[in-house]
Structure formats: structure tokens, C-alpha cells
Amino acid sequence: MSEDTLMQEQEFKFSCVLQGHDGKDVRCCAPISDGAFVTGGRDQTMVIWEARNNTFFSAHQSFQTSWVNAVCALPPIPNALNPSLREIGGVVCGLQDGSIVVHDRQAKVLYSLAGHTGQVSSLGVTSNGFLISGSWDGTMRVWDLSKEIAVHTQSEFENAVTVLGLPNGDIATGSAGVQTGPSAVGQMKIRIFSPSSSGDGTYTLTHTVEDHQHKITELTNHGIGFASTSNDGTTKLRTYDGQVVQDIINPTGEWGLSLTSLETGELATAHDDGVLQLWAGTDIKQMLVHPRGIWSVKQCTNGDIVTGCPQGKITIWSRDPSRQATPEAEAAYNSATFSARSMIAAKTGKQLDVSTLPKFEDRAQHLGDDDGDIRQFNKNGQAFTYRWDIASRAWVEMGLSTGSQQQEVDGKFEQKKYFKAVSLLGFLE
């Protein structure tokens, strides 16, 4: 039996919950080295967490000018214009105001990169060290940090862009889509770009695939190619040219918000209902349940899983018994998780009087503030629930409001169904 197979037989267990970001949503996370990782949140900070004696602490913090939407670690860049990046690399964050801020390994701000006119939605690094950024302005930019300039800009994407540097030197992107009807979004596309032979950071579009039915939220390198996840509730495993070789369908249909490939070959997918699913092929190996939703998931270099969650919470899961919580701490987490999920279900069970709702035909007068905002409208005398999709600036119909259980997304609640039988330890019952 291989080492990876042996590791897969071990279960991830709760390790700890870190509290930070002033209680605001932790929207992104990324591994650095030696078990350390970086997080970004809606409190306008980026935090580097380091491990010491099997516990984590906030080692470095950087205050930003707006929400932090994306973070990534930079490898050592020997020819970097700034010497701080040459030997150990650094950390980058992408902001709501369109800025990209480059830091050293201790979160000291080195400089900012300007160019995006919309909020930064994704960051990545190519196999040869170029920084990649995607934005809600519908563009992808490639940055040469030896010159601290953008060397390639690709436009005409369908709103928000998620980016990924592939091991073969290509770049993969996914788009959020555009409004195609009163309550529909379409044209969510996977694109593959190949580098020019000159190696100057310019890229050419080589493949386009359109197969997701809703916003593409994240990409990750995996297996023989890469994987994509989407708000359509599916995750697709692809070859390097974007062709699907395997579909993974979430049995509950919950939105896929983030994913990461584990060192053992498994795939971890995070969903808006607070359940982290671990997949081996098309089989769910384990489900790790959180009190609320999950915005981001990544695996640290020590093998632990870190999730960024609402209310400033960062949850750590480990296969290493030395880093797992005591039975008492695990029981306390499970109890708190059950109580929180039960409270959310009870809190959102009431249906509003349809006569007090704005009319559906007047929806243009009631725009959402944030992605995921939920409203009910009076449509032909019945209450329908709609979710605000900020990428397409449209209300997306979720269905007839029945007063059943709902899901919290960034402090807002929406019509959702929870798993009928999932233990708090994350196993199918």
C-alpha cells in the first residue's frame, strides 16, 4: 500500500479555531511554508499565521485600504527588482479597490501594482514566476516582478476572473458569466493561454470551454491537469486543454465556493452550507462540518487543511494526532457547531407576508449591496426568493419561498437545504 493510500485511510479531525480579522469574514487563505499560511478578510487586513509547538499565532499583519479578496505566496524570485523577494519570496494580496499589494515574508508592504479598475478576484503565479491577477473588471493581467509592471493584459472576460498557473507553463482562467435573462446567468467559460516563445510574459489564447452552468469560483492544479468548481454545485476534473475527464456532483447541489488539491491526490471542495467535502475520485471520503459557510480552503505544507469562514474564524483540520484537538475540545467544537447550525435554521424559518414585499417588476429599484444578498419579491402574488449576483448585477431566482431552512452567506440568509444526516465529526451516517 502506497504512502498516499495510507494517508487517505487516516481521517482529518478538528484541530483548532483561530479568531482574527476583527470578527469579519475571512475571504481567502493560502499556504506559505513550514505550516504557515496567510489569510485576508473584510476587516481590510492580511495576516500571516505561523505554527509554534503545534499551535498557531498571528505573527505578522498588514493593514490595507479596502477588503482583501485574494492572497497568494510568491516563491523566491532571483531577478526581482526588490531584493526582499529574491531569496525567500513574499506574499501578495488583491483588494476590493483593484490594488495589488506586494509584501515581504514578514508582511511589510514593499509596493503596490495598479491597473485593475474593478476589485481583484483572484491571484496566482505561473511556473516561471510571473504573478497573475484576475478582476471583476473582466481582465486578466500578468505581472513581471523583475520590472514591477504588467507585461500582458487580457480583456473581454465575462465579469469576475479566477486565475491559475499550470505546471506546463500555461494559464487557466474561469469567468463568472453574464446575465442572459431576467433571472439567469450564462457564458461561464474556461480559457487556456499559452506563453509566447520569447518568454516575455505575453500569452495567447489556445482553448475555450463552456460547460459550467453558473459562476466559476475557483481553479486548482490536480492530477493530470486541473479542476474547476462552480456555483452550479459541480466540480470538474480537466486535462491541461480544459477538457473534462470527470464530473464530481455535490449530492446536495450547494454552491461550490473554493477547492484545493491535497497532497494525497484527494480533492477538497468547500460549499456555502458550511460543509467541506473530501473526494477520492467520485467518492466522498469525509465531510467536515462548520458552523457557518466556508469562503476558502487550502492545504498547508504540513498537510493540515485551513478554511476561511465568516465572523473572523479560521478552522484547522489535521491528520496528525499530535496536532488534533483533545477529545474535550473536539466535543466543545461539535456542540457549538450543532447549536449554531440549529439556530440559523430556526432563525430563518419565517416567511414574510407577500403583501409587504416589493413587486418583482420593480426589482430594478432594489439593487443588492453585496454578492449573495437575498431578497424576496412579490411575483404574481407569491413570495419568491432571489440572490444578488454582483458579477452580472442581476437578481437570480432561487425559487418559491416556503419558509424552510436557509443558509447564511456573509451575514445574509437564503433559502437552502441542509444535509439530512451528517455527523459533526464529518462522516456520513
- Residue-range definition of the domain harbouring residue 387: 354-403
| 332 and 358 in a common domain | no
> What confidence tens digit (pLDDT) does each residue in 312-344 have?
999 999 999 999 999 999 999 987 886 666 555
Task: Identify the pLDDT of residue 348.
Answer: 55
> What confidence tens digit (pLDDT) does each residue in 167-181 have?
999 999 999 999 888
The number of domains in the chain is 2
Please tell me the pTM assigned to this model: 0.80
CA separation for the pair 145, 72 (Å, rounded): 14
Task: Transcribe 154-207 into DSSP letters.
Answer: E---SSSEEEEE-TTS-EEEEE--EEEETTEEE---EEEEEE-TT-SS-EEEEE
Which amino acid is residue 165, in one-letter code? Answer: G
Which of 21, 49, 28 lies closest to 37 in space, CA to CA? Answer: 49
| 399 and 270 in a common domain | no
Query: What's the mean pLDDT in 154-161?
Result: 95
* 285 vs 409, higher pLDDT: 285
| 234 and 326 in a common domain | yes
> What confidence tens digit (pLDDT) does each residue in 245-254 have?
999 998 877 8
| 360 and 277 in a common domain | no
Q: pLDDT-derived band of residue 119, with 50, 70 and 90 as boundaries?
A: very high
Q: What does DSSP assign to residue 85?
A: G
Is residue 429 a part of any domain in this protein?
A: no
Average pLDDT, rounded, for the chain: 86
Contact of 403 with 384, CB cutoff 8 Å? no
Angstrom distances, CA of residue 181 to CA of 184, 185, 324, 389, 397: 5, 7, 49, 13, 11
Is residue 215 a part of any domain in this protein?
A: yes
Q: Which of 100-114, 175-189, 275-289, 335-349 has the lowest mean pLDDT?
A: 335-349
Helix, strand, or coil (residue 386): strand
| 370 and 323 in a common domain | no
Task: Identify the pLDDT of residue 250.
Answer: 87
Residues 6+ apart with CB under 8 A from 367: 388, 393
Which of 47, 49, 72, 71 lies closest to 61 in space, CA to CA? Answer: 47
Task: Identify the pLDDT of residue 8.
Answer: 59
CA separation for the pair 158, 181 (Å, rounded): 15
| 360 and 282 in a common domain | no
Q: Which own/partner contact pairs does 36-40 have at CB distance under 8 Å and 24+ positions apart?
A: 36/300, 36/301, 37/298, 37/300, 37/306, 38/71, 38/73, 38/91, 38/93, 39/71, 39/306, 39/308, 39/314, 40/67, 40/68, 40/69, 40/70, 40/71, 40/93
Task: Identify the pLDDT of residue 341.
Answer: 66
Task: Identify the pLDDT of residue 184.
Answer: 79
C-alpha cell at 359: 413587486
| 360 and 241 in a common domain | no
| 324 and 397 in a common domain | no
Query: What's the mean pLDDT in 206-210?
Result: 97
Rounded to the nearest angstrom, the gap between the alpha carbon of residue 15 and the centroid of all alpha carbons in its chain is: 21
